[in-house]
């Protein structure tokens, strides 16, 4: 049985639909991390385990083995902005 109340390819629209109670949303930690921490959303579990908790990441694909200075600076800035652990997991 495939009953879909709302479908979107926009993470923010899915987040808002989930927050207003339209149903269950399958969303990334970086989209709903603050909502989960505040208690506005909860993680669903199956048998005590969080569903679909495979390790994830953000990957930068590049054509050259050695990045240009500009790309290297961008990668450094991106790593700094995201943080370790990522800001959405803190």
Q: Say whether 34 sits in a helix, a strand or coil.
A: helix
Q: pLDDT tens across 34-53, in order?
A: 999 999 999 887 666 666 56
The domain spans of the chain are 1-48, 58-89
The whole-number mean pLDDT for each consecutive block of 10 residues of the chain, a chain of 90 residues, reads 80 94 87 92 75 69 86 91 76
CA angle 10, 14, 19 (to 5 degrees): 150
55/14 Cα distance (integer angstroms) = 22
Q: What is the pLDDT of residue 53?
A: 61
Let me know: does 87 contact 58? Beta carbons within 8 Å: no
């Amino acid at each position: 049985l495939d009953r879909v109340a709302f479908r979107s390819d926009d993470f923010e629209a899915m987040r808002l639909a989930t927050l207003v109670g339209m149903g269950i949303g399958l969303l990334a930690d970086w989209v709903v991390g603050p909502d989960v921490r505040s208690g506005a959303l909860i993680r669903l579990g199956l048998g005590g385990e969080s569903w679909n908790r495979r390790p994830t990441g953000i990957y930068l694909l590049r054509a050259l083995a050695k990045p240009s200075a500009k790309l290297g600076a961008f990668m450094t800035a991106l790593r700094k902005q995201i943080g370790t652990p990522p800001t959405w997991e803190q």
